[in-house]
Each structure stands twice: as C-alpha cells, then as structure tokens.
Amino acid sequence: MAKEQQFVSQIADIESDFPQWYSDVVLKTKLVDYGPVKGTMVIRPYGYAIWENIQKELDKRFKETGHENAYFPLLIPMSFMTKEAEHVEGFAPEVAVVTHAGGEKLAEPLCIRPTSETIIGTMYGKWIQSYRDLPVLMNQWANVMRWEKTTRPFLRTSEFLWQEGHTVHATEEEAMEETMKMLSVYEEFAKTCLSMPVLTGRKTEKEKFAGAVATFGMEAMMHDGKSLQAGTSHYLGQNFSKAFEIKFLDKDGVQKYAYTTSWGVSTRLIGALIMTHGDQRGLVMPPVVAPVQAVIVPIAAKKGGVLEACTALKERLQKAGVRVVLDDTDNSPGWKFNEWEMKGVPVRIELGPRDIEAGKMTVCRRDTLEKGELPLENAEEGVKALLHEIAENMYDTAKKRMEQRIVDAETLDELLDGVNRGNFVRAGWCGCRECEDKVKEFAQATARVYAKEDTAKTCVACGKKSAHTIVFARAY
RNA sequence: CGAGGCGUAGCGCAGUUUGGUAGCGCGCUUGGUUCGGGACCAAGAGGUCGUGGGUUCAAAUCCCGUCGCCUCGACCA
C-alpha cells in the first residue's frame, strides 16, 4: 500500500489539480515533450501512434463520403489573407509571418497558414468554371500555426496537426447538407473510435469561425466538467467564393458564386480523450485508437516455457489484428503493471506457469481494473471481444457522466452555481451580444452550442423573452 | 500582456534565511539473486547550481540585469 501511494504521488491528484494532472500524464507517459520553441510540442512515438489511428479511421470515413485528399502550401501570401475581411480580422493577431528568405527581405510578407481557406479558395477560383466541376470535396492533412499566448500540449499549441476539409457546392442547400453531414461524421467517429460522447450544435455569432456564415461544433465534457471544442464544421456561404472569385456557369447559363464549407479536427482530440477518460492511475486509452491495445506481461519469465508461451500468444494476437506488445524487459511484474496502466493500455494479459498449466491467461481491463481469466485456446476472440466491451463501457460511463452534469438555470446565480460544480448549464438567451458577455463576466462561462431543443423561457442575463436555449460552460 | 511560483545530475527535490569540500531519492551502467501489484545485494558513471555582470580572500547562497518554464486571468482548434 505504501508503494501504491508512492506511485500515485508521481501524478498530481486528478480531482484537486486537474491541469497539473494533465501535464504530468502527457509528459510521464511519453506522449509528448516540450519543443525548444515556446508553445510547440514534440509528439513522441507513443503519442503519434494515437494520431495515426485517428487519421486512419477518419480517412476511411472521409473516403466513404466521397472526399479526396490533397495538399496545399504552408506559406500563404499576405494578400490572400486580407481578401476576406472578417477572416483576416479574426486571424491576424495570431499569424506568424515570414519576412526574410534567401538572405533578403521579401517584397511581400508570407504568412504561415493558420488555416487554409484562403490559399485553397484561390486555387478553387482557378479550377472551377462549370456546374459540372461541382461539387469539389477535398480534405487536407497538414500542420498549421497560430501564435497563441498560452499553450498546453495537444489542447493548444502554436503548431498543431489537423485535417481540414474544404468543399464547394452549387447550392446553399447542398453546402448546408455537407456541413451537417461532416458534423455527424465527427460525432459518430468520437463515439465509436474515441468512446467519447459529444454535444453538437450551432455556435453563437461570437464563437463562430472568422468568415463563416454559421459554425457548428462538437463539445466534449472533460473530467473536471469543463468543455473542450473537439471539432468544428463551418458553413461559409458565399463569403469566401466572393472573396476568391469561385464562380461557375450554371445549367441555366448564369454565372453564380459557389457555396463553400470547411470542417476540421486536430491533435486536440488526443487531449480530449485523455481528459475524458483518464483517472488517478494515468491514461485510459480508447481501444480503437490505442497505440497498444494489449500488453503481455510474463510472470516468472525465466522458468521454462513462459517466454515461449508469451511469444506464441503475441504472434497469434498480432495475426488477428490486435496491436500487442510483449513486455520482456527485466523489470518486476508489479512495475510493469503500473507502467502500462499509466500508459492506458486497455487490456493487460498476465501469463505465468500457473496459467500455462491451466490453459488460461489472466486478464486485467484498464477501464474497470477488474481481473479475470480467459482461455488460451481462443485468445484472439476473447481479447477482441473484451476490447469491444471496454470501448462500449468507456463510452457509456462518459456519456452517463455528461448527461448527469447537464443542468438547467434560470438566473445568473444558478448558472454560476452550475458551472462551479462542473456542469454544462442550459439557459435561455435573448440573443444579444451584451447578455452573452455578461454571462462570461459573471460566471466565466461561454456559450458552447445552441441546445437541441428550446426549453428556456427567459434570458438568463436580462430576463427578457428567451430566443434560444444555450448550453453554457467553462471551456478549455 | 497582467498576477503568483519555480530554474541545482535524466526525473523529483534538499541546501539559499546566517557565503566556506556539490547532496538525497528515483532512474541509468556492470555483475549476481529474483519475478502473480513499483524486488534485493554489491560496485560504478553522471552537475562549470538557467545565464551575464557585481560585491568578497571565498558565491548555488548576497546585489543588479537577463532568459526560460509552470499555474491563474484576457484571446483561440
């Protein structure tokens, strides 16, 4: 027990010091390291593997919905950025600019993309002539840079990896349909691959993407009750097509401006899943994207046949498509247990002389920490079924927690009380910016999304008739 | 950018008040015994104390500057 406490003390307390817990866990589990340039992070192999799995799963979904991948340049001429007024106003403060190259001052400064609407819009303007060219459904996997004031690994770094989808459509309806379709792709992905429940909905004017007509987001509830914007899908209307001359000749012989959308998720998702599922022992990885899905810990490894049995099991599981590691280091078993638990591996298999004798393996699942036994005979099916069960249980647990922590408020005091307890708070809103700002000032909470149903009657801030029901929360 | 805190071995820290040989725990290396929840013994390697200047016979310690990091606010995927 003393040793147990010693282990726990290596990570800050998850309840009382959540930000510190988060920093500890991403560094100590070797997901990331801090980069030499302030605000940047080095994603280590164990962390990057999560991203690779996310990419794989998302790409599959993007292809299924008819999208293709492409790649656009990192550097964007400053003049492109300034073409859409709201866009440049929104992003100017955080854009990094290249002023010198080849030993000379550049005639026109180049910005390092904070997002690619402008350069992609410029190219779309050249590519699209006719309604026959539409729709254009593209996606880009890239890094972008936003010079943020304060940063936190995965959640907010100066440079981050993401995917950004950019589509062009002939009609408003079609573009809107695309916007909503991709939002639901994200939601389904979060559920099945990250075991993460999310709240989706429209964002307020204040919170929307700079240059969009409407922004829709998915918000995830972190362990401490704060919200994290985990993905966005924007309906851009004709704002960018007018700025970048994305025009087409329609069937009726009339030149028309196209309707565009953009949507993206980033490495922030990794932060989201850590903060959704993690516990006092460290990470809890959702099985679908876990870098390591199962670890085999040999017991009494030097005794005859143990290591051989472990190796054979590893090969069988590998062949069955399970991402499995055999920990044959000479650390003690107890050390390995704690280490792999901290790294969040969903299934641990202990294999020792007693198991081999009995034709079984001892199995411990990370989500509940329950130990059980499975027959060695069809280990493949057993482990896969367990991984599936863990994924579902993690989702159910997180979903239950989120649902329990969505409350209603009619007054600012109730709202403040709600967010203080780590809740998402549903409240009425008259629709004016002043009231939104007032809520932020009073409760340090922001409008996350429009609620699915309008249940509130009066505005929480001014008491006038409510126009919308909003989900308010503190956010990362 | 505002407020607080911290920079000493790979990591976590003590030493700073009152200047006087550079320390502890973990980790690491080598050899051996171990192995069902962070094992043990023995021997070893590793630091110009963030950095620049000043005071002093003498600075991790005192003074001035500077850089970096963390937490909390304002801004954002």
Rounded CA separation A140/A1 (Å): 50
DSSP string of A48-81, one letter each residue: HHHHHHHHHHHHHHHHHTT-EE----SEEEHHHH
Structural domains in chain A, sorted by start: 2-277 (3.30.930.10), 294-385 (3.40.50.800), 405-473 (3.30.110.30)
Structure tokens at A269: 């998702």
Confidence of residue A430 (pLDDT cuts 50, 70, 90): very high
CA A150 / C1′ B64 distance in Å = 29
CA distances from A32 to A29, A42, A439 (A): 8, 5, 36
Residue A60: closest CA among A254, A276, A289, A295: A289
Q: How many CB atoms lie within 10 A of CB A206?
A: 11
CA distances from A80 to A71, A115, A214, A317 (A): 17, 12, 22, 52
pLDDT over 90 (residue A318): yes
| Percent of residues, chain A, with pLDDT higher than 90 | 81
Residue A152 approaches strand B within 7 Å at CB:
yes
| Covered bases, chain B (protein CB within 7 Å) | 1, 34-39, 68-77
For A63-92, write each residue's pLDDT tens digit: 999 999 999 999 999 999 999 999 998 888
Q: Report the pLDDT value the prediction gives residue A8, as an integer from 0 to 100.
A: 59
Note the maximum CA span of chain A: 82
Q: Give ipTM to 2 decimals.
A: 0.85
Which residue type sits at A253? G
DSSP assigned state of A144: E
Confidence of residue A302 (pLDDT cuts 50, 70, 90): confident
Phi and psi for A238 in degrees, rounded to 5? -105, 10
- A476: the nucleotide nearest its CA (via C1') is B76
Structure tokens at A328: 């044959």
For A139-185, write each residue's pLDDT tens digit: 999 999 998 888 889 999 889 999 999 999 999 999 999 999 999 99
- A338: the nucleotide nearest its CA (via C1') is B38
Buried b (16+ CB within 10 A) or exposed e, A342-360: bbbbbbbbbbbeebbeeeb
Burial (Cβ within 10 Å: 0-12, 13-18, ≥19) of residue A328: middle
Comparison of pLDDT for A66 and A303, the residue scoring more: A66
pLDDT over 90 (residue A17): no
CA distances from A235 to A18, A127, A196 (A): 35, 21, 24
Taken in order A237, A242, A245, A249, the sign of the CA dihedral is: positive
For A231-280, write each residue's pLDDT tens digit: 999 999 999 999 999 999 999 999 999 999 999 999 999 999 999 999 98
Mean pLDDT of chain A: 93
Q: Report the pLDDT value the prediction gives residue A449, as an integer from 0 to 100.
A: 96
Q: Which of residues 327-346 of A touch strand B (CB under 7 A)?
A: 330-339, 341-342
Q: Are A234 and A86 in contact (CB under 8 A)?
A: no
Rounded CA separation A118/A255 (Å): 21
Q: Report the pLDDT value the prediction gives residue A1, as an integer from 0 to 100.
A: 34
Rounded CA separation A62/A338 (Å): 38
Mean pLDDT of A318-324: 98
CA A149 / C1′ B63 distance in Å = 33
Name every residue whose Cβ is closer than 8 Å to that of residue A275 and which is 6 or more positions away in sequence. A18, A22, A222, A223, A224, A228, A476
Structure tokens at A275: 């903060």
Q: Are A393 and A411 in contact (CB under 8 A)?
A: no
Length of chain A: 476
Mean pLDDT of A328-337: 91
CA A88 / C1′ B73 distance in Å = 26
Q: Report the pLDDT value the prediction gives residue A7, as an integer from 0 to 100.
A: 60
A141: helix, coil or strand?
strand
Residue A440 approaches strand B within 7 Å at CB:
yes
- Of A51-55, A101-105, A334-338, which range is least confident? A101-105
Name every residue whose Cβ is closer than 8 Å to that of residue A99 and which is 6 or more positions away in sequence. A105, A106, A109
CA distances from A13 to A295, A335, A337, A397 (A): 26, 20, 20, 21
CA A296 / C1′ B14 distance in Å = 40
Which residue type sits at A360? K
Q: Which of residues 285-314 of A touch strand B (CB under 7 A)?
A: 299-302
Taken in order A99, A100, A104, A107, the sign of the CA dihedral is: negative
pLDDT over 60 (residue A3): no
CA A31 / C1′ B38 distance in Å = 21
- A332: the nucleotide nearest its CA (via C1') is B35
Residue A267 approaches strand B within 7 Å at CB:
yes
Mean pLDDT of A309-326: 97
Q: Are strands A347-351 and A294-298 parallel, antiparallel or unpaired?
A: parallel
Q: Which of residues 69-88 of A touch strand B (CB under 7 A)?
A: none
Q: Are A218 and A196 in contact (CB under 8 A)?
A: no
Rounded CA separation A37/A145 (Å): 13
CA distances from A399 to A392, A406, A422 (A): 10, 11, 15
Taken in order A362, A365, A366, A368, the sign of the CA dihedral is: negative
Conformational region of residue A344, where left means phi above 0, alpha means psi within -120 to 50, and beta covers everything else: left
Residue A364 approaches strand B within 7 Å at CB:
yes
Q: Report the pLDDT value the prediction gives residue A2, as an integer from 0 to 100.
A: 42
- Which helix (H) or strand (E) segment holds residue A406: the answer is strand A406-409
CA A472 to chain centre: 20
Q: Report the pLDDT value the prediction gives residue A37, as an integer from 0 to 100.
A: 79
pLDDT over 50 (residue A101): yes
Structure tokens at A181: 């379709």
Q: Angle at CA A334, nearest 5°, toward A332 and A335?
A: 65
